[in-house]
Amino acid sequence: MFNTQEFLQSEIARNLLVGLDAPDDAAIYRVSPDRAIIQTVDLFPPVVDDAYSFGAIAAANAMSDVYAMGGDVLFGLNLVAWREDLPLELLSEILRGGAEKMREGGGVIAGGHTITDQEPKYGIAVTGMVNPQHTLTKGGAQVGDVLFLTKPLGTGILTTAGKQEIAAEQDLQDAIAWMMRLNRDAALAARAVGLQAATDITGFSLLGHSHEMASAAGAQFQFELNALPILDGAFELAKQGSIPGGTARNRDYLHDKVLLPENLSDEWDALLFDPQTSGGLLLAAPRTKRDALIREFTARDVAYWEIGNVVQGAGVRVT
């Protein structure tokens, strides 16, 4: 008979450093004093029409969880759901995009699994490595930290508008380029200065993921609205009603967990709750390390915006 208490006291359970007890961006399992495995998985339906770009975006998104934990990517296993009536040439381009982006991230595709499904989907189960003493977690922020974001907001709005064929082509291509950009260099910058707190901004929106970080840290995250970066075209498209379905779900869950300005426009509301695909890292940096982090960002050509602070309190406030 399985004994839960014995298992929790076992060496296996003790070496699971990050798991269900403290939900984070990925699981971490220690294999030696200075080495731990990072494991994560993600997949979703196409967010753009171009097959290669979709594969590359999905790979960048999947690897991002490893980077958000402060680790290096080792290898990935493809996860594919494919309709039998769709050309295999399209699937080949998706897999090529994923494989090339994995190589850019320092990893390799080592296999995978395919099933038949009415809705195509693609993703990767990614394995990475990290020193257990140098991990980034959602709960590492401290009061007094400065908050940085490394990609602009609005990918959900832009990709929705792309499906509706109302997005300007250049704006959509810019959004695709941001989604394909790896968070690897941003994570290396954070690791170089010894940061402890990070997450990546994906489907739960900036407010959702920052609320997770604030709750784990037992503090309040304060954002300055005018400091938040947005993609070209996103504000106008939000005004036209190009809002993904996930926005309402995020808002419904978070409405009593975040404090927003009373006169907040509908467009800004949509951007704050916008579900991102392959978004940037949200990093909390001690004020004493702020300048060093900026130097590391600059040396690695990492885009960054200083968007707020960690203060006493709870939840998230936008001013």
Same-domain status, 140 and 56: no
Question: 238 and 210 in one domain?
Answer: yes
Assessment of whether the complete model's pTM goes beyond 0.75: yes
Per-residue pLDDT at 5? 60
312 and 256 share one domain: yes
Buried b (16+ CB within 10 A) or exposed e, 173-184: bbbbebbbbbbb
Q: 199 with 267, same domain? A: yes
Residue 37 reports pLDDT greater than 90 = yes
Whole-number pLDDT of residue 250: 97
Which of 133, 148, 183 delimits the end of a domain? 133
Percent residues over pLDDT 70 in the chain: 97
Indicate if 141 and 284 belong to the same structural domain: yes
| Per-residue pLDDT, 4 | 60
CA distance 215 to 21: 14
Q: Which of 106, 133, 160 is the last residue of a domain?
A: 133
Instruction: Using pLDDT thresholds of 50, 70 and 90, give the confidence band for residue 12.
Output: confident
Question: 208-232 pLDDT, tens per residue?
Answer: 999 999 999 999 999 999 999 999 9
**pLDDT category, 10, cuts 50, 70, 90?**
confident
Half-sphere exposure of residue 30: CA atoms within 13 angstroms, side-chain side: 16
Q: Tokens 């784990």 label which residue? A: 216
For the chain, what is the domain count? 2
Assess whether 114 and 213 both reside in one domain.
Answer: no
Cβ contacts of 205 within 8 Å, gap of 6 or more: 246, 247, 250, 254, 272, 273, 274, 275, 276
Q: Are residues 247 and 143 in the same domain?
A: yes
The last residue of a domain, from among 102, 133, 164: 133
Amino acid at 283: L
Residue-level pLDDT at 19:
82
Rounded CA-CA distance 248/202 in Å is 15
CATH number for the domain that contains residue 23 = 3.30.1330.10
What is the rounded CA–CA span in Å between residue 185 and residue 204? Answer: 23
Say yes or no: 92 and 148 in one domain. no
Residues 45 and 58 reside in one and the same domain: yes
Q: What is the pLDDT of residue 9?
A: 63
Least confident of 10-24, 135-149, 301-315: 10-24
Same domain, 300 and 169: yes
193 lies in the same domain as 300: yes
Q: Choose among 137, 77, 133, 79: nearest CA to 107.
A: 77
Could you tell me the CATH number of the domain that includes residue 229? 3.90.650.10
Distance CA 96, CA 103 (A): 11
**Domain span including residue 206:** 136-318
The arithmetic mean of pLDDT across residues 262-277, rounded, is: 97
Average pLDDT of the chain to the nearest whole number: 95
Looking at the structure, do residues 24 and 109 belong to the same domain, yes or no? yes
